Amino acid sequence: MSELTTIARPYAKAAFELAVEKGTIESWNDMLFFAGEVASNEQASAILAGLPTATAQAELFINICAEQLNEQGQNLVKVMAENGRLIALPEVAQLFAAFKAEYDKEIDVDVISATPLAASQQESLVATLEKRFARKVKLNCSEDAAVVGGLIIKAGDTVIDGSVRGKLNRLATTLQS
């Protein structure tokens, strides 16, 4: 997957810079998400791979996406097809979304708890995390009974394990050493 990331990064960066310049970040995000879904579809990939030329691949891909792609989106597809990189479109979409989140100063935070969090708890947690990360926080809550109590918070590379299960595991490790 890292190879696809390396391939996709320049395309995503160029698309993002153009989107910022034109003020069309949201439409580019939607466009790339749709194109990424088409590119990751097994049937579409098989048909595209069977076409003899990059021009034919680009034309078919653009026809499949129809009105979902504007002129600049169509140009991106043509360039990627010419370079044999259509397979990297899902990764381009993910990188573009990451650039957008960074630009918007947003972060997705996964919260795992033993029981569902009340709305007031979620609001308090969002306020605290926004201060900590200095970003707008989008909370994704889930439940896992194995947590026992407390919370596990995952934000990018940061993991805060305040769960009872995590504390018990750390205590066991300390006692064994």
The Cα 23–Cα 59 span in angstroms is: 27
Q: What domain range is 62 assigned to?
A: 2-102
Domain count for the chain, please give it.
2
pLDDT tens track for 83-136? 989 889 999 999 999 999 889 888 889 999 999 999 999 999 999 999 998 889
Residue 73 sits in the same domain as residue 12? yes
Region 40-57 average pLDDT? 87
pLDDT band at 32 (very low <50, low <70, confident <90, very high): very high
pLDDT of residue 2: 67
Residue 95 sits in the same domain as residue 127? no
Residue 13 sits in the same domain as residue 96? yes
pLDDT of residue 28: 95
What number of helices (H) and strands (E) belong to the chain?
8, 4
- Rounded to two decimals, what is the model's pTM? 0.69
Quote the percentage of the chain above a pLDDT of 90.
60
Residue 102: phi, psi to the nearest 5?
Answer: -65, -45
Residue 120 sits in the same domain as residue 88? no
Residue 29 sits in the same domain as residue 74? yes
